[in-house]
Amino acid sequence: MVIGILKEILENESRVSITPDVAKKLISSDHKIHIESGSGEKAFFSDKDYSDVGCIIENDSKSIYNCELILKVNAFTNEELEHANSGNTLISFFQIKDNVNLLSNYINKKITLLSMSHIPRTTLAQNMDALSSQSNIAGYKSTIIAADHASKYMPLLMTAAGTIKPAKVLILGAGVAGLAAIANAKRMGAQVFAFDVRPVVKEQVESLGAKFIEVESDSDEGTGEGGYAKEVSEEYKKKQGLLIEETLKTMDIVISTALIPERKAPILISEKMVQSMMPGSVIMDLAAQNGGNCELTKCDQVITHNNVMIDGRSNLPSTMAADASQLYAKNVYNFLTHLYKDDNKLNLEDEITSGSMLLNDGTVCNETVKQFLDKG
């Protein structure tokens, strides 16, 4: 199979979809790889690194569309789709709610689209789960940035001048990003607390040394399909709001990571709650790109409200482009190895293939895509 690698064009994107070591493995499996010149530069992989393992360097991105399969990190834009050929297979992250306006172009071009965002959460697919590998980086990096913003030490400090108490850190949402944030905040010496609507994660939180704070409830209503969080009842939300509001008053750092697949992020921190926080405290809102968990968050901006800093920057994995690219490329390699066997044909009966496929030769084959298109 002939595989094309496009350079990412978004301003705040430094990752590349395939690294030289993964390219070498694909080439050894009888695939040919064409890569746009400069694709790996921001992740510190040179064109020579790629050519040395057998990749063909293309100076014109249009040449890449002659490949059967084309890989990216971010969704293909309308500008990029202009050059796509009918029958191209495209693989990238693709959040349906964020890119629904692009779908008609994909359909008209008769594109086969597989999304790294929609790989099923199964045991077999764990090594293909790019959302988890990138979220892990985001959770880790958020604690580093928050510590830089904070006006306090993270660990307990005992000096001749006196003792400094450790910072108190609250993690909202104990998914992959949240658990990574908990682990790193603990390593940095902070006193860590965590909240999640799913009681099932309590054991994981406590195993990392954090205190789990929870709403008293007889049900497990916050746990959705695949272990993801889901929308909760109004009664639960009221109890949740009171619990979070009271907890925030004593926190130095808050890292919010709560997301619901293909939905706007839930608001967990209101303006009123921010008003009650200590001056100098910090909110890192990892859900900023999806609307934010804090009512005041502005995506890709750092603002201050009532002496509380609110950091809404998105795409934290891109700030660690070398490692983020390595992990994403390995996820893609494992995905491709599963998708394409000896005949290089997709098995549409396979759970992972069908779960990640949004379009097949321009035909919609995903229920969520159908729902968004029906809404107009």
State the catalytic residues: 121, 126, 129, 132, 228
State how far the alpha carbon of 138 is from the alpha carbons of 9, 178, 317, 321, in Å: 21, 9, 5, 11
CB of 266 closer than 8 Å to CB of 292: no
CA pair distance 230, 106, nearest whole angstrom: 29
Residue type for 62, please?
K
CB of 111 closer than 8 Å to CB of 90: yes
Residue type for 222, please?
G
Instruction: Classify strands 89-92 and 112-115 as parallel, antiparallel or unpaired.
Output: parallel
CB of 360 closer than 8 Å to CB of 108: no
Q: Token pair 């200590």 is at which residue?
A: 278
- Return the H-helix or E-strand segment holding 176: helix 176-187
Residues listed for the chain: 376
- Return the H-helix or E-strand segment holding 144: helix 130-149
CB of 74 closer than 8 Å to CB of 92: yes
Q: Is 217 helix (H, G, I), strand (E, B) or coil?
A: coil
CB of 207 closer than 8 Å to CB of 246: no
CA dihedral 43, 46, 47, 48 (to 10 degrees): -150
- Return the H-helix or E-strand segment holding 149: helix 130-149
Residues linked to residue 305 through DSSP beta bridges, in sequence order: 308
State how far the alpha carbon of 202 is from the alpha carbons of 163, 171, 193, 194, 196, in Å: 31, 13, 11, 9, 8
Residues linked to residue 254 through DSSP beta bridges, in sequence order: 170, 283
Q: Token pair 């010496």 is at which residue?
A: 189
Structure tokens at 343: 């005949």
Residue type for 35, please?
I
DSSP single-letter state for residue 118? G
